[in-house]
Amino acid sequence: MGLLNFIWNLPLMLLRLVGAVLAFFFGNIGWDAPPWARAIASGWDRLGGVVRARPARSAGILVALVALGLGGLFGYRAWRDRPRPVAEVPATFSVQAPVLTGYDEEARKLIVHPLHVVFNKSVAPLALVGKSPTSGIAMQPELPGAWTWLNDRELNFLPKDDWPVGQKFDVSFDPKTAFAEHVKVDKDRLDFSSAAFKASIVQGEFYQDPRDPNLKKVVTTVKFTHPVDVQEFESHVSINFRF
Q: Specify whether the CB–CB gap between 52 and 44 falls below 8 A.
A: no
Helix (H) or strand (E) holding 140: strand 137-140
Sheet holding 189-193, edge to edge: 137-140, 168-173, 189-193
Q: What is the pLDDT along the chain (243 residues), one digit of tens a residue?
A: 456 566 656 666 777 777 777 777 777 766 666 777 667 767 666 666 666 666 666 666 666 777 787 777 777 777 777 765 554 688 999 999 999 888 777 877 888 999 999 999 999 999 999 999 989 999 999 999 999 999 999 999 999 989 999 999 999 999 999 999 888 999 999 999 998 888 888 777 777 778 877 777 777 888 877 777 778 877 877 777 666
Count of positions (residues) in the chain: 243
What span, in angstroms and rounded, lies between the C-alpha atoms of 152 and 90?
A: 15
In angstroms, rounded to a whole number, what is the distance separating the alpha carbons of residues 169 and 137?
13
Domain definitions of the chain by residue range: 2-80, 93-193, 199-234
Topology at the third CATH level for domain 93-193: Immunoglobulin-like (2.60.40)
pLDDT at 101: 87
**Total-model pTM:** 0.56
Q: Which helix (H) or strand (E) holds 103?
A: strand 102-104
